[in-house]
Amino acid sequence: MIHLRIFLPIFFLLYFLLIFLMYPNPKKEKSRKLKRITVLNDLIWMLVIALVTFFSLFPDVYHEYIFPIEVLKSHVLSWTAIGIMSIAFFLVFLAKNEHRLYKNQTRNGWLLLDSGVYAKSRNPLYIGQIITLVGLFLCIPSIYSALLLLIGSMIVFIRVGLEEKVLESVFGDDYLEYENRVDRWL
């Protein structure tokens, strides 16, 4: 599965360049809980980088300490995972571009978007994150990647709930109208 040892480092390099360098997040006023969950989210991504590094550069260490799930290793599944992760990358790219287009309409650094990919999902960035973690698990099926998927998904759901409260307090009646007008998932 040499294609994964090449694809994954390139994918995550581009993914993080896109998320953090090309489209940096504006400074937002965050509660203490939201700051903590953001730090945990960042920790998950650092652990993803560690997993990809061990998988790509140190396959012996990966096989000895990461506990791969051999039953799930197949070329069909790995190519499917590459497709899934590519879709997630495209979704995150569209969402970040939407942020860029409307960055002047923030209140305390927060945006309330309802166009583009935000017309279909309230949180396309987080959906992209979960899809990426699913793809990573399918590329590198292991106990470690399963835990990253599970914990990363829980962090996303907690973060969404906390951000919903912030949006309601920042946007007030505009947010309530937005909630009534748009019925979306996650």
Whether the Cβ atoms of residue 170 and residue 49 lie closer than 8 Å to each other: no
Tell whether 71 is covered by a domain: yes
Q: Does residue 24 sit within a domain?
A: no
Angle between helix 32-57 and 2-16 (nearest 10)? 150
Residue 5, helix vs strand vs coil: helix
Domain count, the chain: 1
Residue-wise pLDDT for 49-86, tens only, equals 999 999 999 988 888 888 888 888 888 999 999 999 99
**Residue 186 within a domain:** no
Instruction: Give residue-wise pLDDT tens across range 31-49.
Output: 889 889 989 999 999 999 9
Where residue 108 falls (left for φ over 0; alpha for ψ -120 to 50; beta otherwise) is left
Q: Which pLDDT tens digit goes with each residue over 114-150?
A: 778 887 888 899 999 999 999 999 999 999 999 999 9
Domain span including residue 7: 2-15+31-181
pLDDT of residue 143: 92
Residue 24: band (very low, low, confident or very high) from pLDDT cuts 50, 70, 90: low
Is 130 a member of any domain? yes
d(CA 178, CA 174): 6
